Chain A
Amino acid sequence: MSFKNIQELEKRLWDAADELRANSDLTSQEYSRPVLGLIFLRYAEYRFEMAKARIEEKQSSRRRGGDIKTAIQAEGAMYVPEGALYSKLLELPDGADVGKAINDAMKALEAENEAIKDTLPKTFTKFDGDTLSGLLKNFAAIRFDIGSDVFGRIYEYFLTQFARAEGQGGGEFFTPSPLVRLISEIIEPYSGKVYDPACGSGGMFVQSAAFVREHNKTATSELSIFGEEKTGDTVRLAKMNLAVHGLEGDIKNGNSYYEDIHDSVGKFDFVMANPPFNVDKIQKERLEDSKARFPFGMPRVDNGNYIWIQMFYSALNAKGRAGFVMANSASDARGSEMEIRREIIQSGAVDVMVAISSNFFYTVTLPSTLWFFDKGKPESRKDKVLFIDARHIYTQVTRAVRDYSSEQLNFVANIVRLYRGEMVDDTFLATHPDERNSGDWSIEKFFPDGTYQDIAGLCKVATTEEIEEQGWSLNPGRYVGVAEGEEEDEEEFRIKLEELQEELEILNGEAHELKKIIAQNVAEVLGY
């Protein structure tokens, strides 16, 4: 497969779809769900045809018959009835009601497939016929032969582009796939139950499944997926996302603060999440009694970070691992938040902390920290935490966006493996050819003996005592030190400035939302 071909295809499809939007009066939000729905429909037919071909091959020597629907579903595809075939929509005569025809197709597909019930968009009559025909033709151009999971990638690409176009409110940021992927490389979800109580459109699950697949296992048989998401519309996106990637999962609509739908305590092998940052106005009095979910009590400040962190911690079973994205300020937070952090550190569950550069999120520049818990740490690492300062590891994509080359991502994950005394694993590098790889980030260069060692400015193993000396900080910058040419005492200034920037970015996000609401209200007042 050619990485470049898919990239070009993604961009071409997006540009065409975006131009169609520009010529309609639809907002990005009104447009995004139906477009993702069409990609989904196209994919359903593709999987269906493939499954049918395989069944026919098997049955050619034998008697035909039996329940075709069951057979198709056994092949991991959806059963697509006549009325839901994408190819039929392409053949609609001029003047046909395209919107209605697509709505009907969506309904027909849902009727045959329980997993996507009430998931697909049915608002196509809002579009004009030309736009719809244009979109149908556009997605018909997706070629199947350029690689595995082409649809999954295109779906995710569109999801990302829409997230960028729509912007996001408050501390909610669409998780960029390099970070999701790095989390899965570090917690290594080979098999078991995976949980994300802030699952959004399901990106964490898709990447953990990719991890399993690249290690030559079948994701559907190795992983059970459990998610919770507060926005109903996003739950539907997540279900479609899983289906597009051939995954099954249990995604429920609910507010994870107050409703523990999956009865999470002590249940999961893996927790992966990117919760909203610095959420305020959580009704803590409703949570105080859930001692099992929040074993270290409520933070006194009006900030949800340590509520989420405890949720992740308590959802793990005795051997469970968690990896999640956090606002930087949580690593150094004082007062009651520090007390909670101290208890978690003393429990021995904190495994690895990775400081991430700014500009990884699409809509904000703020840097972040990845936290990793491991409740099944061996005795030898029980009172130790590995700190990695990866703030200087990134590849500039555009002026505003940074990414990892596959070599860089592979490198960071392998530092953790060396620390754990595991073998270096280059599967990710091998399965993700990347023209930006230069050999600068090879593990041999930094760790010539093939064993872990502290490297100033990059990584450092600290004991619980050392962490206590730093006021229970989990900020990698405090431990890793600085490479030559920088100075230690600048760290305070950096930390404070970063905190300010983090708060500013979140306020920017909120302001963006408020501006939209005001514009809508004014339009209403003026009677537009």
Chain B
Amino acid sequence: MSTTLGEHITTQKGFAFKSKWYVTEGQPIVKVSDFTSDSIDPRNLICIPKELAREYSKYQLQQNDIIIQTVGSWPSNPASVVGKTIRVPRSTNGALLNQNAVKVIPNKTIDQTYLFYLLRNNDFKDYIVGTAQGAASQASITLDSIRSFKFDLPHLDKQRKIASILSTYDDLIENNNRRIAILEEMARRLYREWFVKFRFPGHEAIKMVDSELGKIPEGWEVVKLFDIAAPTYGFAFKSKLFTDDGNGIPVVRIRDIPKGLSNTFTQEHPKKEDQILQNGDLLIGMDGDFHMGKWSGGHAYLNQRVVKITPFDNYSKYFVFLSFQKPILDLNKSIVGTTVAHLGDKHLKEIKIILPEEGSRKQAERLLDALFDKEINLKLRNRNLQKQRNMLLPKLISGKINLLYGK
């Protein structure tokens, strides 16, 4: 049965909170710049004082609220595209919604989770971008155009069934993300306990001696990063040949390091074999924030200003990764470029690390390697789950797949 969205929802626009109210502690405000591709990043939320916030309680968000971004970029910049629909995660429960976004509240006729997937579907995205207006740099959509969206709405049982199929994927992806974070934290803590605080098994019997990096256990040594690993610098691909249409091989730029995934492709080939990446490769971005990451986006090419660090045979990836993490962060603080900071080969060459005696190191590496493999495995599973969900979503929402629901 064809219907329009306006019959099934009410809306609540965000409020233009004044920047002079901003404080660091208080009631968090969610801005469109805090949106991720389908959620909210809770890490850098700005706040207003709690007393003030009470007057604006109608802008308060709850977990699972659905929000559409009403002002943003054109589709050429998908990160902040207008019409994007996100769902409020538990971490921002209670935050207030800023301007340029609207909360969509379902009536009794439509299931909330189903509504979320309906608005995530390409039919809605294409429709809403088609109604957008504005200049080249900024597009906006109206509440009227959101309300006028026409679609077929199945009855509630079927909506719930479809919603449950799709949200199982999102639940598992969220579960996997949390597990990845836990594994990373475990690795970090283990490394710190053993190799920074020197409380490794059997440390009581070991004497501490002087070194150029302070006191270290006897039998340990200070070495250069490049004594235990080798760098491969990226290839200068022609950016005018880059596409986002999936033709060619993904190119890994600095911005792709944190996610471990690239959606930029090229038909060009790199000069060296080494510039081809595989899952588990260690990467450092050489400009800006000096992102560090473990690649999990499959077969891909290494672009310029990204360096791959390959541990020598005898050293484990996670150990090497954790060893260079702090020196790189320190460099990031100390190197100040004119506009962006640049990391050079000369800096990397000088990185010194404390190399534990082999017994302790091997023991840690066994633990770390297992964590590393599990992390990469979970990331790959998430890619698979996202693909499955993205394949099913349009088919289920359009009713192209018939389900034996309610059995």
Contact = CB atoms under 8 A, between A and B. Distances in A.
Interface in A491-506: 493, 496-497, 500-501, 503-504
Contact of A507 (B178, B199, B204, B392): B178
Contacts of A501: 186
Interface string B158-179: 0000000100110110011011
Interface stretch (A315-323, A449-457, A512-520): A512-520
Given A496-B189, A500-B185, A507 B168 contact: no
B169 A518 contact: yes
Interface string B385-399: 100100010000000
A507 B171 contact: no
B331 interface: no
A508 interface: yes
A485 interface: yes
A313 B403 CA distance: 47
B223 interface: no
A525 B393 CA distance: 12
A490 B193 CA distance: 8
B1 interface: no
B401 interface: yes
A490 to B, nearest CB: 6
Contact of A497 (B176, B189, B199): B189
Contact of A514 (B172, B178, B204): B172
Which of B178, B183, B190 counts the most A-chain CB atoms under 10 A from its CB? B178
B199 A511 contact: no
What's the interface size class on A, roughly?
A: 20 to 34
A414 B174 CA distance: 46
Contacts of B329: none
B182 interface: yes
A72 B385 CA distance: 58
Interface in B194-224: 199, 204
A489 B168 contact: no
B179 A511 contact: yes
Given A487-B204, A496-B189, A508 B392 contact: no
Contacts of A524: 403-404
Nearest to A518: B168
Contact of B199 (A485, A493, A510, A518): A493
B182 A507 contact: yes
Contact of A504 (B183, B199, B401): B183
Given A493-B199, A511-B179, A525 B392 contact: yes
Which of A501, A517, A521 counts the most B-chain CB atoms under 10 A from its CB? A521
Interface in B124-170: 165, 168-169
Interface of A: 302, 485, 487, 489-490, 493, 496-497, 500-501, 503-504, 507-508, 510-511, 514-515, 517-518, 521-522, 524-525
10 contacts: A489-B199, A500-B185, A504-B182, A507-B178, A510-B171, A511-B172, A514-B172, A521-B168, A525-B392, A525-B401
Interface of B: 90, 165, 168-169, 171-172, 175-176, 178-179, 182-183, 185-186, 189-190, 193, 199, 204, 385, 388, 392, 401, 403-404
Q: Which 4 A-B pairs have the closest CB atoms?
A: A514-B172, A493-B193, A521-B165, A504-B182
